Amino acid sequence: MTCDPEGLKPRYAAMSATEFNAIRRSDLTEQGAAAYDRELARRQSPEWLAEEARQLKVFEEREELDRQWRGRRRPVSITIVGWLLIVLSVVGAIFAYQLSQVAVLLLGGLLQLIIGIAILKGRNWARILLLLLAATAVLLVITGRTAPSLGLIVLVPCAVVLLRRDASRYFRFPEWYRTRSQAASNPEKEEAQR
């Protein structure tokens, strides 16, 4: 077993190829040189080279997808779901004062407002939360704990929309999409991309 008191092994392993190649072996201590030699041998092994090639291929594929998808507009279905949740939360807050369960309705409306805004921003946690709320609403109706309501009628179709392939891509890579306001502020760039 080799001793690594300076913690060089993880440091060398974390270095990029350029950083690692810039190290002058003659400047290292005996233990540092031994750790350097082990890391050099590891980097020259076929397994390490194969892993590096795989990572480079994944990076290149991601770059190609980035070139293809960057600048696309957010899917219309996502925009509709986000704004529908925002509008319904405001309408629910207005009608909450007329009903006896004001606190519950206001809390639900606030949650719906937050989810709607987060969906428009491409936050995946909002998508997951809406899917959980829709599943809970369906379970409550199935078990007979509540009657079908407007919330169920809205949440289930919204959940279906959020499970589509274009929605999944939007929530996975929100940085690829831009809003209409971003497109309007940069018309020259939009024309250049076409």
Span 108-154, pLDDT tens digits: 788 889 999 999 888 999 999 999 988 888 888 888 776 667 677 88
Residue 163 sits in which domain range?
74-193
Write down the pTM of the prediction.
0.55
What is the percentage of the chain residues whose pLDDT exceeds 70? Answer: 76
The pair of structure tokens assigned to 148 is 């079908």
Tell whether 99 and 170 lie within a shared domain.
Answer: yes
Tell whether 64 and 93 lie within a shared domain.
Answer: no
| Per-residue confidence (pLDDT) for residue 190, from 0 to 100 | 47
Tell whether 101 and 142 lie within a shared domain.
Answer: yes
How far apart CA 151 and CA 168 sit, in angstroms, is 23
Answer whether residue 90 is part of any domain. yes
Tell whether 116 and 145 lie within a shared domain.
Answer: yes
